[in-house]
Amino acid sequence: MKQAITCLVTAILVVTGIRLQAQGCVAIRGTAGVCGRPADHQGWDLNINNRYFRSYKHFVGREEQKERVERGTQVINHAWELTFTVTRILNERWSFAGTVPVMAFGRSSLYEHYGQTRHHTGSFGLGDIRFSAYRWLWKPESSRKGNLQAGLGIKLPTGIYNYQDYFYRGPDSLVLGPVDQSIQPGDGGTGISAELNGYYNFSPRLGLYGSFFYLVNPREVNGTSTARGGTPNATAKKYNTDVMSVPDLYMARAGISYMAGHFNLAGGLRIEGLPSSDLIGGSRGFRRPGYIISAEPSVTWSRKKLSYNLALPVALVRNRVQSNADKRRSTDSGTHIQGDAAFADYLISAGITYRF
């Protein structure tokens, strides 16, 4: 039974110990939960995870703007994220974790430059670091079939949120300015994260897992210009989209896990998103709110102190919802206004966990 519990919760670790970043222009910052395991040891765990996605399909609401790809006007984002998570297991119920992400982003577009030739911008650097404390709600020894783990953390604004690159204003004219919000390494806000992770065993081989994560970002805007080295227009100033927002974010997932020898096979659904309105603080500034629902298969191979994992979330639903500015503009104009965002079809996540 202990082995089943370990494998089930390791499945949660695989799919929640990953930096949360929506697959595209819906710029989500922060770190998803790091679920521990009912402690059969005291010590340290190190997880190193790498993930990649390419976003290029534009959506307004749930409707794909297929003409963007057909005409070659789509924005293409490439995202590489390397995350280091160190977990200190104090006893069977308490653990602490610190997560350090390193990001490398690339972005190509027409509209950000002078509209005739596709050009690239990029960013690289440390992301926003997060520290969290976790506690199993019930004693693992007497709750072997299932348990819940609660987590509370703080996200620090360690990532650069005004990273700059060059934008073309003509074939031979360049201007330096902040890159798009979706490829900024950080968001500029100090946030508080709340988590709930859990599992339930039907048998020593089969069980359920689930997790929920929400990051509250009280800061409204971070002051970074959205004009890409230019001057914001009157509309942007009126509706406060001339500077970048510091939004909340959320993630939830649930699925089934099956143990086969040293392999743990898991599959379920995952939703991650960025709301148009924050729980605390204002919601103005530029943001691309929305969510993505994915089917998320994963496999973990574990042996003694070492485990490897691979996950491949595939998009099922992509929805770019109205932002605060969209709603205000719609009210003022009497016409429905809703921006777009680019999403990926899938992402690739691979990592390794070592128990000291």
Residue 31 CB partners (closer than 8 Å, separation 6+):
19, 20, 83, 85, 99, 101, 128, 130, 155, 193
Instruction: Convert the pLDDT of each residue in 231-242 to its tens digit.
Output: 999 999 999 999
Q: How far apart are CA 30 and CA 250, in angstroms?
A: 10
Coil/strand/helix, residue 84: strand
More confident residue, 234 or 1: 234
Instruction: Convert the pLDDT of each residue in 76-119 to its tens digit.
Output: 999 999 999 999 999 999 999 999 999 999 999 999 999 999 99
Instruction: Convert the pLDDT of each residue in 261-298 to its tens digit.
Output: 999 999 999 999 999 999 999 999 999 999 999 999 99
What are 160's strand-pairing partners? none
- Full DSSP string of 226-263: SSTTS---HHHHHTTTTEEE---EEEEEEEEEEEETTE
| pLDDT at residue 12 greater than cutoff 60 | no
| pLDDT at residue 338 greater than cutoff 50 | yes
Coil/strand/helix, residue 313: coil
Q: How many domains does the chain have?
A: 1
Q: Residue 144's pLDDT is what?
A: 85
Q: Residue 36's pLDDT is what?
A: 41
Q: What integer best gives the mean pLDDT of the chain?
A: 91
Closest to 288 (Cα-Cα) out of 252, 253, 330, 244? 244
| pLDDT at residue 121 greater than cutoff 80 | yes
Q: Quick one: average pLDDT of 63-73?
A: 97
| pLDDT at residue 10 greater than cutoff 60 | no
Q: What percent of the chain is modeled with pLDDT above 90?
A: 86
Q: How far apart are CA 32 and CA 20, in angstroms?
A: 5
| pLDDT at residue 43 greater than cutoff 70 | yes
The answer to whether the beta carbons of residues 226 and 244 sit under 8 Å apart is: yes
* pTM, 2 dp: 0.91
| Domain, as residue range, for 127 | 2-355
Q: Residue 95's pLDDT is what?
A: 96
Q: Which residue has the tokens 């009157």?
A: 234
Q: How far apart are CA 97 and CA 80, in angstroms?
A: 22
Q: How many helices (H) and strands (E) does the chain have?
A: 4, 19
Q: What percent of the chain is modeled with pLDDT above 70?
A: 88
The answer to whether the beta carbons of residues 73 and 65 sit under 8 Å apart is: no
Q: Residue 190's pLDDT is what?
A: 98
Closest to 185 (Cα-Cα) out of 341, 56, 50, 81? 81
Question: 184: pLDDT confidence band, cut at 50, 70 and 90?
Answer: very high
| CATH code: domain of residue 258 | 2.40.128.130
Q: How far apart are CA 34 and CA 83, in angstroms?
A: 12
Q: How far apart are CA 267 and CA 285, in angstroms?
A: 37
Greatest distance between any 2 Cα atoms in the chain: 70
DSSP state of 16: H
* φ, ψ at 140 (rounded to 5°): -55, -35
